[in-house]
Amino acid sequence: MAISVKLKASPRAKSGSAAATKLRKSGQVPAIVYGHKQDNAQVSVCAEELDRAIRIQHARVLDLEINGKAETVLIREVQWDYLGKQMIHVDFERKDRSELVRVSVPVELRNAPKTTGGGVLDQPFHTLHVECPLGDIPEAIRVDITNLTLGNPIHVKDLTLPEKVKVLETPEAVVVQLKLPGIEPVATATPTEPGTGPEVIKKEKKADDEEAGDAKK
């Protein structure tokens, strides 16, 4: 289940690269809150606290407090500098906890095969696209590979999923397998439904216009 972290956000009156640079130097990250047919809110959040929420607590959902009012938001996009160290801008999308969302979730392999038969481990999918209520986003989809054998891959349809979680990749897609060296890996399959692109949690900033998200509604 998604971990929800409480975080305070401060409204910001000024936009533009100069104001954003000043915020970052003070330890803040410029952000936008949008969605639910409400006005966009320009805010800033503590970079250290948000970094801890993302990297250590693996949070996808926040209880964001703005002017004393809490809003449930999904971390929809985080833009980083070219070194991947400093956050440049963050997009938060307003959501209800019962609302269905589509996000990407990491695949976590557990244990090791009892026997490999000379095969090597091949994992075509390191993340999967899922649909589930906001409050039920799993930290990871865990796959026990203890009984994995050569010639018997684990497909999407074989996964044991948390309640209310639906994987959007085709059921026949191979998630992990044992493959003989020199054999081409199975091509990864795309989601079976349109509009299931992955949630972008890390995105390199290619321009100094962190207000690009301001057009979102």
Most confident stretch, 1-15, 105-119, 178-192: 105-119
State residue 17's pLDDT score.
85
pLDDT by residue (tens digit) across 1-54? 666 789 999 998 777 888 888 899 999 999 999 999 899 999 999 999 999 998
Arithmetic mean of pLDDT over the chain: 84
State residue 208's pLDDT score.
40
Tell me the sheet residues that pair with 35. 38
Considering its fold, how many domains does the chain have in total? 2
Tokens 């244990």 locate to: 111
Residue 136 covered by a domain: yes
pLDDT by residue (tens digit) across 156-178? 999 999 999 999 999 999 999 99
* Distance from C-alpha of 198 to C-alpha of 168, rounded to nearest angstrom: 11
Name the residue range of residue 135's domain. 101-179
Residue 189 covered by a domain: no
Same domain? For 22 and 73 the reply is yes
Same domain? For 173 and 108 the reply is yes
Q: Are 175 and 40 in contact (CB under 8 A)?
A: no
What's 29's domain CATH number? Answer: 2.40.240.10
Residue 185 covered by a domain: no
State residue 99's pLDDT score.
92
State residue 197's pLDDT score.
36
